[in-house]
Amino acid sequence: MNSLKITRDFGELSFYTEGSGPYLLGLSGFGCDHYNFIDLVPELKKNFTVVLIDNRATGKSAGTKKDYLMKDLAEDALAVMDHLDVKSFGLMGISMGGFIAQELIKLVPERVNALALICTTS
Protein backbone atom coordinates (compact mmCIF):
# COMPACT_ATOMS: atom_id res chain seq x y z
CA MET A 1 0.00 0.00 0.00
CA ASN A 2 1.10 3.57 -0.65
CA SER A 3 1.78 5.30 2.67
CA LEU A 4 1.09 9.05 2.76
CA LYS A 5 0.72 11.80 5.36
CA ILE A 6 -0.96 15.17 5.70
CA THR A 7 -0.54 17.73 8.46
CA ARG A 8 -3.54 18.48 10.69
CA ASP A 9 -3.91 20.67 13.78
CA PHE A 10 -2.63 17.86 16.04
CA GLY A 11 0.27 16.73 13.84
CA GLU A 12 0.68 14.22 11.02
CA LEU A 13 -2.23 12.03 9.90
CA SER A 14 -1.21 8.84 8.10
CA PHE A 15 -3.25 7.23 5.36
CA TYR A 16 -2.81 4.55 2.74
CA THR A 17 -4.03 3.97 -0.79
CA GLU A 18 -4.12 1.00 -3.10
CA GLY A 19 -5.97 -0.05 -6.22
CA SER A 20 -7.72 1.82 -9.00
CA GLY A 21 -11.22 2.85 -9.87
CA PRO A 22 -13.83 4.71 -7.81
CA TYR A 23 -12.66 5.77 -4.36
CA LEU A 24 -13.66 3.81 -1.25
CA LEU A 25 -12.73 5.28 2.14
CA GLY A 26 -12.41 2.94 5.14
CA LEU A 27 -12.70 4.29 8.70
CA SER A 28 -11.48 2.12 11.57
CA GLY A 29 -12.81 1.63 15.08
CA PHE A 30 -11.66 2.83 18.48
CA GLY A 31 -7.95 2.28 19.09
CA CYS A 32 -7.50 0.58 15.71
CA ASP A 33 -5.54 1.69 12.70
CA HIS A 34 -5.98 0.91 9.01
CA TYR A 35 -5.34 -2.79 9.62
CA ASN A 36 -9.06 -3.22 10.45
CA PHE A 37 -9.57 -3.46 6.68
CA ILE A 38 -6.28 -4.97 5.55
CA ASP A 39 -7.76 -8.43 4.84
CA LEU A 40 -10.35 -6.85 2.52
CA VAL A 41 -7.87 -4.84 0.46
CA PRO A 42 -6.81 -7.63 -1.96
CA GLU A 43 -10.40 -8.03 -3.12
CA LEU A 44 -11.49 -4.39 -2.89
CA LYS A 45 -8.49 -3.04 -4.84
CA LYS A 46 -9.65 -4.98 -7.90
CA ASN A 47 -12.52 -2.51 -8.35
CA PHE A 48 -11.74 0.47 -6.12
CA THR A 49 -9.04 2.86 -5.07
CA VAL A 50 -9.07 2.00 -1.37
CA VAL A 51 -8.14 4.74 1.12
CA LEU A 52 -7.50 3.73 4.73
CA ILE A 53 -6.71 6.11 7.59
CA ASP A 54 -4.86 5.76 10.88
CA ASN A 55 -7.07 7.86 13.16
CA ARG A 56 -5.44 10.26 15.61
CA ALA A 57 -3.17 8.46 18.07
CA THR A 58 -3.32 5.15 16.17
CA GLY A 59 -0.88 3.51 13.81
CA LYS A 60 1.56 6.02 12.37
CA SER A 61 -0.62 9.08 13.02
CA ALA A 62 0.45 11.54 15.70
CA GLY A 63 -1.06 11.46 19.15
CA THR A 64 -2.88 14.41 20.61
CA LYS A 65 -3.05 15.98 24.04
CA LYS A 66 -6.27 17.83 23.28
CA ASP A 67 -9.77 16.39 23.57
CA TYR A 68 -11.48 15.83 20.24
CA LEU A 69 -14.88 14.85 18.90
CA MET A 70 -16.12 12.38 16.28
CA LYS A 71 -16.64 15.44 14.06
CA ASP A 72 -12.89 16.16 14.29
CA LEU A 73 -12.13 12.62 13.09
CA ALA A 74 -14.63 13.09 10.25
CA GLU A 75 -12.91 16.35 9.32
CA ASP A 76 -9.57 14.49 9.30
CA ALA A 77 -11.02 11.95 6.87
CA LEU A 78 -12.47 14.69 4.69
CA ALA A 79 -9.07 16.44 4.66
CA VAL A 80 -7.54 13.23 3.27
CA MET A 81 -10.11 13.06 0.47
CA ASP A 82 -9.61 16.77 -0.26
CA HIS A 83 -5.83 16.22 -0.37
CA LEU A 84 -6.41 13.45 -2.93
CA ASP A 85 -8.80 15.78 -4.82
CA VAL A 86 -11.60 13.20 -4.59
CA LYS A 87 -15.01 14.73 -5.22
CA SER A 88 -17.17 11.65 -4.51
CA PHE A 89 -16.49 8.37 -2.77
CA GLY A 90 -17.94 5.30 -1.11
CA LEU A 91 -17.58 5.07 2.62
CA MET A 92 -17.24 2.12 5.01
CA GLY A 93 -16.92 2.36 8.75
CA ILE A 94 -16.32 -0.41 11.25
CA SER A 95 -17.26 0.01 14.93
CA MET A 96 -16.40 3.60 15.93
CA GLY A 97 -15.52 4.15 12.28
CA GLY A 98 -19.26 3.90 11.63
CA PHE A 99 -19.82 6.82 14.00
CA ILE A 100 -17.14 8.80 12.16
CA ALA A 101 -18.74 7.88 8.82
CA GLN A 102 -22.09 9.24 9.97
CA GLU A 103 -20.44 12.51 11.03
CA LEU A 104 -18.70 12.71 7.66
CA ILE A 105 -21.99 12.28 5.81
CA LYS A 106 -23.45 15.14 7.84
CA LEU A 107 -20.56 17.34 6.66
CA VAL A 108 -20.70 16.51 2.93
CA PRO A 109 -23.71 14.33 2.04
CA GLU A 110 -23.37 15.25 -1.64
CA ARG A 111 -19.91 13.65 -1.84
CA VAL A 112 -20.76 10.22 -0.36
CA ASN A 113 -22.28 7.90 -2.96
CA ALA A 114 -22.38 4.66 -0.96
CA LEU A 115 -22.22 3.66 2.70
CA ALA A 116 -21.48 0.45 4.59
CA LEU A 117 -21.75 0.48 8.40
CA ILE A 118 -20.07 -2.61 9.84
CA CYS A 119 -20.40 -3.76 13.47
CA THR A 120 -21.60 -0.32 14.55
CA THR A 121 -24.74 1.54 15.56
CA SER A 122 -26.56 4.72 14.64
Average pLDDT over residues 83-92: 98
Pick 112 or 64 by higher pLDDT.
Answer: 112
- pTM passes above 0.75: yes
Say how far apart CA 101 and CA 28 lie, in whole Å: 10
Say how far apart CA 55 and CA 67 lie, in whole Å: 14
Average pLDDT over residues 97-109: 97
Q: Would you say residue 117 has pLDDT above 80?
A: yes
What pLDDT digit, counting tens, does each position of 13-61 carry?
Answer: 999 999 999 999 999 988 788 888 999 999 999 999 999 999 999 989 9
Residue 8 corresponds to which amino acid?
A: R
Residue 39 half-sphere exposure toward CB, CA atoms < 13 A = 1
Rounded to the nearest 5°, which phi and psi values hold at 107? -75, -45
Say how far apart CA 6 and CA 37 lie, in whole Å: 21
